[in-house]
Structure 1
Amino acid sequence: MESIRRYQWNGSLNIEVLTDSAIVLAGTQEEKCRVSFRIPRDTYLTIYLPYILERLEEILKNNVTDRYKGWWFSFDQVPLDWTYPIGVLYDSLVQLDPSFRNSTMTSDTVNVWKLVIHHDEKLPPGIIPIINGMKQIQEYWMHQWKQACFVLNGSSKQIMSLAKADSMSFWYSILNRDQKTFDRILEKILQNRDTVKNIPLKIHVASSEVKLIESITNASTYDPKLTLNDILRRACPQIFSAEEPSCFAKPIVQGIEVPLDSLILNLFNCFMSFDGFLHVSVSQVKK
């Protein structure tokens, strides 16, 4: 499991951000409107807003007075909800079968996800405005952990009782990509992963927008033999329980196709995200 967690921690995406022409100075060369970088799969894209805007500042029509407020990203004209890990957004929106991705890539292929950055005082519906910069992002992330702890144990005491120094180190381990510190504090929160009450799980169904189905297993039904297939048949019966589904559906976790008969607790222990949840993206391929 340690090797799987290490690979997950080091997993990344190649991103190319193109600037919305509405906020660019007239006559700016197109290559100056692009920012290319690599980002960890298991993080929020908005954490990298200051870096992106620093690269773009000289070609923007207006001075950047706030590096978080009013900014948002889109893919194929679909606004990206910053509250999801970037890897989850990719797996949910790109809608490519992982086996197809592998078959079309060679040693010389660089897979780049192309996004657009926008700025407007009025954000698209469903996008939470960032008013308080990085502090707000940190508070949202900590709130996710409180939820995850409550689902796991029936109480958020494990995360709430962390010393202030540990809480800050936990957050900075995300910013600094320090897995050793992250795992050290994680052990204080998840002292016994084999005796949990429920599994913090979010299922994302790939469509023209990220459709979120929160499927948190109930204490009355959870048992060590519970599989991903059991969960998906309950949460997405139109896809996984139909006698003649219109598509082949595959569950993707951290960019990997996982078997439907996988035990849900094993998946959580191996692939839990940096926000305390197990995120499952359903990749649908039409027949």
Structure 2
Amino acid sequence: MSTIEHSISKAIWYGKIPIQFNLDPTDPTATVFIEVPRYSYLPLTTPQLLSHSKRLESSEPHSIWYEFNGEPLKWHYPIGLLYDMANRMGPTPPQLPWCINVHSNNFPDNVILRNPGLETIQDMYMSMIKEADFIRHGSTKKVMNLSKQDQSQLWQALSTERYDDYWHVNQHILDDRGVGLRSVPLRLYLPDQCPVIQDTTSFTDEQGASRTLGDILHSIVPGLFLADGKSTTDLIVVLHGIQLPLHTPIRWASDHLSYPDNFLHLIICKPSPL
């Protein structure tokens, strides 16, 4: 396992997005402003919103859904990823605070999964961590060997914003001693409603040399990125709201810039208009 620069990972962990939640379309004053961690999930904000709105308070939490510019937001995507997809892939510059509409009826079942309970979200989160472990090491032993208390601590740390508690457990998952690295846990999000790309690609080349982000992108989407790590167009790569240089070492990025599910969620888009 490489040495973690905690100044970097802490800055990512404590990154937040100011959100204006519009609770009632008939009442423009029914709004709540919350600074939400980028790594969190929208359903984790639901209890706080219910306490601010009598209309929502009488609703079933499973019926609550979120929408931006007419598009339902996927609750199982981290909030930072949702914001970057909505604001970096669109035709307008990023807006802050991010204005999200909250609905309690006409749930779009044909577009998004119904809002689950917190236990289901926790199960989803742990499934992602297990999947990342399998991609990275070729098995899920790192996660499965954690005690129930440690597995629970990963989720509790995420939902209560405790960085030290999270890394106390996650460092054991990322520890590659005696196991070795297989593939990079990553997902690519492209413009124009393209399907999410999740492919297997190694941390090193055939000679064992470390690969860069540009190397990885060329191996997965060679039509968009050349072998020299340059884009064939003016496309850029965005993660946590930051444009990543294509020469970024992929191992460093995976260890420091992954979301708490241990995936690199990379957005391929054009530079935002000024």
Question: Which TM class, normalised by the smaller chain length?
Answer: 0.7 to 0.9
Between the aligned partners of 2:71 and 2:77, the Cα distance in structure 1 is 14
Q: 2:225 touches 2:232 (CA, 8 Å); kept in 1?
A: no
**In the alignment, does 2:39 pair up with 1:45?**
no
Of the candidates 3, 8, 13, which is equivalent to residue 9 of structure 1? 13
> Deviation per CA, 1:115-142, whole angstroms, max 9, x where unpaired?
11122364243412234x1000000000
Q: Which amino acid aligns with 1:9?
A: W
Q: Deviations over 1:98-130 (max 9, x none)?
A: xx76xxxxxxxx921111112236424341223
Using a 3 Å threshold, how does the CA distance of structure 1 residues 280 and 111 change in structure 2: closer, same or farther?
A: same
TM-score (norm 2): 0.85
Match of 2:80 in 1: 87
Aligned to 1:195: 180
Offset of residue 230 of structure 1: 2.1
Compute the displacement of 1:5 (Å): 0.4
Counterpart residue identity of residue 5, structure 1? S
Q: 1:53 to 1:237 in 2, by over 3 A?
A: farther
The separation in 1 between residues aligned to 2:210 and 2:202, in whole angstroms, is 14
Task: Identify if the C-alpha distance between structure 1 residues 249 and 220 changes in structure 2 by more than 3 Å, giving closer, same or farther.
Answer: closer
Distance 1:159 1:246, change over 3 A: closer
Quick one: structure 1 residues 210 and 49, their matched pair in 2 at CA, closer, same or farther if it must change by over 3 Å?
farther
Out of 187, 190, 202, the residue aligned to residue 205 of structure 1 is 190
Aligned to 2:248: 262
- Give 1:18's aligned residue: 22
Higher strand share: 1
Deviates more, 1:9-18 or 1:46-55: 46-55
8 Å CA contact 1:247–1:286 kept in 2: the answer is no
- Specify whether residues 177 and 286 from structure 1 end up closer, same or farther in structure 2 by C-alpha distance, changes over 3 A only: closer
1:198 deviation in Å?
Answer: 1.0
- Secondary structure at 1:170 match in 2: helix
Q: 1:85: Cα distance to partner? A: 0.9
Normalising by structure 1, what TM-score? Answer: 0.81
Measure how far apart 1:211 and its partner are.
4.4
- TM superposition shift of 1:96: 6.7
Q: Secondary structure at the match of 2:211?
A: coil
Whole-angstrom distance in 1 between the partners of 2:23 and 2:134: 40
RMSD of equivalent CA atoms: 2.9
Matches of 1:10 and 1:284 in 2, distance apart? 26
Structure 2 residue aligned with 1:231: 216
2:166 equivalent in structure 1: 182
Q: Distance in 2 between matches of 1:202 and 1:146?
A: 15
Amino acid across the alignment from 1:31? T
- The residue that corresponds to 1:104 in the other structure is none
Show structure 2 runs of 5+ residues with no match.
Answer: none
Residue 269 of structure 1 and its aligned partner are, at CA, apart by: 1.1
Equivalent residues in 2 for 1:120-159 (5 A)? 120=105, 122-131=107-116, 133-159=117-143
Residue type at the aligned position of 2:15: G
Could you say if the C-alpha distance between residues 180 and 59 of structure 1 is closer, same or farther in structure 2, counting changes exceeding 3 Å?
same
After superposition, give the CA deviation of every residue in 1:185-206 in whole Å (9 maximum; x if it has no partner).
0122121289311110011124
Q: Is the alpha carbon distance of 1:121 and 1:111 closer, same or farther for their aligned partners in structure 2, counting shifts above 3 Å?
A: closer
In structure 2, the CA distance between the partners of 1:239 and 1:78, relative to structure 1 (3 Å rule), is farther
Residues 165-195 of structure 1 deviation map (CA, whole Å, 9 limit, x = unaligned) = 1111111101111111101101221212893
| 2:103 corresponds to | 118
Contact 1:146 1:159 in 2 (8 A): yes
SS at structure 2 position matched to 1:248: coil
Alpha-carbon spacing, 1:285–1:126, altered in 2? closer, same or farther (3 Å): same
User: Structure 1's 112 and 220: CA in aligned 2 closer, same or farther, altered over 3 A?
Assistant: closer
The aligned length equals 262
How big is the shift at 1:234? Answer: 3.5
